[in-house]
Structure 1
Amino acid sequence: MNPSLVLLQSAAMFAMAGGVLALSTYVKLWAGVLSFATVSFAAVGAYLAVWLNGSAGMGVVLSLMLSMLVTGALGLVVGRLFLRLSSHWMALATVALMLITRVFITNLGEYTGGSEGQVVPFTFSLPQMALMLVLVCLLMWALKRSKFGVAADTTREDPDVASALGVHVGQVKVIAFGVSGLVGALGGSMQASQLSYIDPNTFYIDLAVTIVASVVLGGAYHWLGSVIGAAVFTGMPVYISQYITEGQSVINGALLLLIIIFLPGGLIDPLRWRRLRERRSSRAHDGGTPTGGGAASEELEQVGAAR
């Protein structure tokens, strides 16, 4: 196979794994929680799946499903423990959780390989990776149209108003952590399968920054933004490495700045889409000949949006 096509396939597979990890973070942000716990969930899920498949002799599918269930339960526990923390303290607590997870991985050498790491005994193919990403996207689509989706939207916008409307804000956040743990374990296993080797540095701060950037800059108000953001910030660097061997960090930084400046709502911004539809509808209603008042109105809308 053409080396360029091989690298393109590898970039696509890393982007798929990154998309699942980004969706794990998106679920918590959807419920109004900024958290780095996805990295811990990914680490626990990946190491557990590797141990179950390698040392315990379970099949890949069973190992993956069991690791997801265990990590989902862990997510519920973490959500319950961190429930009373405010937003910034919650973020710091999940950073501490990430550090603690790394310590456990380093010291539980009998199960994790310790600081030397271990070989991943399974590898997912491109169709398998695509199927797992599609299934997670379908889960997000279903949640968006469920009672949880409505409760999460309300909780994110204003927890006090949500509580006044009868929404159990704490329960919504705990469920978000549980779903995040479930999805994060899958993403961690997908990431591990592509790396073929994992160690304590595999699931650490660099990955946390990449995941959060994918979610926020891809679009924090729609699950599709996480997938697109991961393709840009996870898959693209893998592919362009064949053309640019140095300075990728500068390129990524410049790309982030451009998106922040010109697309503050992210690449996928439902609010921006709605405004564009309203403007097109208004122009069509006016016969395509906006008056001076219409132009002034558009200018005022832009000023309001900037504020």
Structure 2
Amino acid sequence: MGHSKNLDETALWKEYKKKADAGSERCIWVKKVYEYATNYLKDVRRNFGNYTLHDETHILNVLYAMGGLLGDQISNLTVGELELLILVASLHDVGMVYTDEEQKAQYEDTETCKRFLREHYPEFMGSAAEEWTEDMRQWYLRSLHSERVAEVLHNEAWKELISQRPRDVVPLQCIVSVCEVHGYNPSDMDGNHDLDYLNANDVSPLFCALLLRLGDLLDFDDTRAPKVLCSYVGDNEKSIEEWKKHQDSIGFVYPASPSTEALPYRAHCTHPGVEHAIRDFLDWIEVELGNCIRLQKSCRKS
């Protein structure tokens, strides 16, 4: 089964429609959020022209991967969990959109800049953002994107739509928390009470967070790096390697029913350097799968 071309084709949306009723207020609002996000995320390329796509293609690919991991167990999810997964797939990258004013404010945040340089570029400690390379500035802004979700959803662009959230939809704070932790270190998720089970909504935010993290990583094929856009990446060596890595990847195949067998993956490598980069990325996915298995033990048995 190939990738979905729109939300209606995704396994998660089909199951959600069955359980929430396609004509219900909550179902209509969730779809509006998805549609607004796909348009909003087009602006990611304003600041991240060298990055693989973070638009509707990415959202659909994440939904596809989540559905693939769930397989025939998708019917065991509650309506709130299905809803939450669709919302966080749509919203987890909104923090990568910056206005000029927002960029300026982040570069003027001296404490956050210091923390970033201390961790990644100690040789630049004490330097102003104007002295950083373009790669450094992009990486700095990207490193903040998961923690900006709440801020973005309260800005003028989103305020009206968010204020229309039906009361039976999962709480906004839950949506934000699951989006935020897709950028956390796995160790920071241990004992995170923002991910505690929501009895009122019958939702496991932690389980949804694990699926988002995996779905985000497993979106690894050529649909995110079309050749027509690769030509605009420029001569940035790291970006070119990233694009070629995606272009040579055919992607994952998901079994009809979840199992402990190895997840089938295919690629057609055109260069040994690209193959090396792909193998490194697959190692990262393997580590993340292990982390998620460990954290899943903190979820409810269901």
Same fold, judged at TM 0.5 (above)? no
Instruction: Give the TM-score normalised by structure 1.
Output: 0.28
Instruction: Give the TM-score normalised by structure 2.
Output: 0.28
RCO comparison, higher one (Cα < 8 Å, 6+)? 1
If each structure's helix is expressed as a fraction of its own residues, which one has the higher value? 1
